[in-house]
């Protein structure tokens, strides 16, 4: 991969026809190794989502959509008749949708692909497993292609409003997290392609270091200067005055603009406000959950203690110590200068503006 303006990496791909397989770039192995894993059964897809082999709300959604196709492939190989095949797909889809609770794109994508086989269409109820798989695959591919276009639009809208100065980001919001160039990272790479020059500062993003392992890796591949800092150094960096803005992604955005994102995002937003640095979120419309009014209603995933007490198998806390390990936190809309979507920028971030820009009013 080129280190000077090279193409963005790919993290999710489908190999073969309706009875093919989902292939995922194993992000737990980066940056030390670039390894792909093949998923030919639903259990493997769910394991990959839960273990963060694939991660980032849009990418999880795409993987979930292809996971439903994988379920249809299982039905084909089992020789199931139309009714049992459809029942198998629906059961597997329900399990896929619950694999990670906070990222709304997963359920959204699973439910979207299922619509192509829902009754009362007689064609749906009588379709063979092969027909079901083909129809599901067409829709999953459409979601994947749509995300590429959404990323490009988000990048363009965001680059047009990106302030002068260096950029501070948190977690990973690039090609590894989406089906295209990313969300927040697409804003950065689009601005860079436009000739803007700046330093990107990437919070390491504990406890799983997605900023250090993934964001820094992507930017190095693209030839964009990046410096990694420990999460707790963000306040000191903001106090230097060199940061023009912070920009992050999102796993779920409520009707009033409250935003769930990787743990540590809320703290960064508070620090940005304290130093009068604009704080932006970049997310596609599929990440909005307009059925939820405010952030307090968002379910927050809690992960295992070992990620905190023994990262990468290395004990950093004494045996017997507990761990508090929420995977996400919620940033209130009042701390967000604007939310960049493929439909435009939501600013100020209010329920009315969310509805206006998304066309949901």
Enumerate the active-site residues: 251
In angstroms, what CA-CA distances link 170 with 69, 164, 230? 32, 19, 11
What's the first-to-final CA gap in the chain, in angstroms? 44
Residue with tokens 């363009």: 156
What residue ranges do the domains of the chain occupy? 12-148, 156-358
| pLDDT given at position 122 | 52
pLDDT at 123 > cutoff 80: no
- 144 alpha carbon, distance to own chain's centre: 13
pLDDT at 7 > cutoff 70: no
Q: Are 107 and 143 in contact (CB under 8 A)?
A: no
Tell me the mean pLDDT in the region 121-127: 63
Q: DSSP label at 217?
A: H
- Reported as a single tens digit per residue, the pLDDT across 270-279 is 999 999 999 9
Residues 6+ apart with CB under 8 A from 39: 21, 22, 23, 24, 45, 48, 67, 70
| pLDDT given at position 2 | 36
Measured over the CA atoms of residue 225, residue 227, residue 228 and residue 232, the dihedral's sign is negative
Q: In the CATH scheme, what is the homologous superfamily, with its name and number, of domain 12-148?
A: translation initiation factor eif-2b, domain 1 (1.20.120.420)
- Reported as a single tens digit per residue, the pLDDT across 77-99 is 999 999 999 999 999 999 999 99
| pLDDT given at position 3 | 39
- Reported as a single tens digit per residue, the pLDDT across 235-247 is 999 999 999 999 9
Q: Are 113 and 68 in contact (CB under 8 A)?
A: yes
pLDDT at 5 > cutoff 60: no
Residue with tokens 């990437």: 202
Taking the whole predicted model, whether its pTM rises above 0.85 is answered as yes
- Name the band, by pLDDT with cuts 50, 70 and 90, for residue 1: very low
- Reported as a single tens digit per residue, the pLDDT across 281-302 is 999 999 999 999 999 999 999 9
- Reported as a single tens digit per residue, the pLDDT across 139-161 is 999 999 999 999 999 999 999 99
| pLDDT given at position 360 | 72
% of the chain beyond a pLDDT of 90: 92
Task: Kindly report the number of other CB atoms within 10 A of residue 102's CB atom.
Answer: 20
For the domain made up of 156-358, give the CATH fold.
Rossmann fold (3.40.50)
- 12-148 matches 156-358 in fold: no
Strand extents, DSSP E, 73-214: 166-169, 200-203
Q: Are 246 and 201 in contact (CB under 8 A)?
A: no
Strands 279-282 and 338-341, how do they pair?
parallel
| pLDDT given at position 118 | 84
Instruction: Identify any residues that bridge with 248 across adjacent strands, giving them in sequence order.
Output: 281
| pLDDT given at position 121 | 56
pLDDT at 120 > cutoff 80: no
pLDDT at 76 > cutoff 70: yes
- Reported as a single tens digit per residue, the pLDDT across 310-344 is 998 999 999 999 999 999 999 999 999 999 999 99
């Amino acid at each position: 991969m080129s280190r000077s303006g090279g193409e963005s990496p790919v993290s999710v791909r489908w190999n073969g026809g309706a009875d093919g397989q989902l292939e995922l770039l194993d992000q737990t192995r980066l940056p030390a190794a670039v390894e792909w894993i093949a998923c030919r059964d639903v259990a493997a897809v769910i394991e990959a989502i839960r273990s963060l082999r694939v991660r980032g709300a849009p990418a999880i959604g795409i993987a979930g959509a292809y996971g439903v196709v994988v379920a249809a492939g299982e039905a084909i190989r089992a020789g199931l008749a139309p009714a049992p095949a459809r029942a198998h797909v629906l059961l597997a889809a329900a399990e896929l949708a619950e694999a990670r609770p906070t990222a709304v794109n997963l359920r959204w994508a699973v439910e979207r692909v299922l619509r192509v086989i829902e009754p009362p269409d007689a064609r749906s109820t009588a379709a063979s497993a092969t027909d079901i798989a083909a129809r599901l695959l067409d829709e999953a591919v459409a979601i994947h292609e749509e995300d590429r276009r959404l990323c490009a639009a988000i990048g363009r809208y965001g680059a047009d409003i990106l302030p002068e100065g260096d950029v501070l980001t948190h977690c990973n919001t690039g090609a590894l997290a989406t089906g295209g160039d990313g969300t927040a990272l697409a804003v950065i790479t689009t601005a860079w392609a436009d000739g803007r020059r700046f330093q990107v500062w990437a919070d390491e993003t504990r406890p799983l270091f997605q900023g250090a392992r993934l964001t820094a890796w992507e930017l190095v591949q693209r030839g964009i200067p990046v410096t990694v800092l420990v999460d707790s150094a963000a306040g000191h960096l903001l106090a230097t005055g060199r940061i023009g803005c912070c920009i992050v992604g999102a796993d779920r955005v409520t009707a009033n603009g409250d935003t769930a994102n990787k743990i540590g995002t809320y703290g960064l937003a508070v620090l940005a406000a304290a130093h009068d640095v604009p704080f932006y979120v970049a997310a596609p419309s599929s990440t909005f959950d307009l059925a939820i009014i405010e952030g307090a209603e968002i379910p927050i995933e809690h992960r295992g203690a070992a990620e905190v007490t023994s990262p990468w198998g290395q004990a950093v806390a004494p045996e017997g110590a507990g761990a508090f390990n929420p995977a996400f936190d919620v940033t209130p809309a009042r701390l967000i200068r604007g939310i960049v979507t493929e439909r435009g920028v939501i600013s100020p971030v209010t329920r009315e503006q969310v509805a206006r820009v998304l066309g949901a009013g």
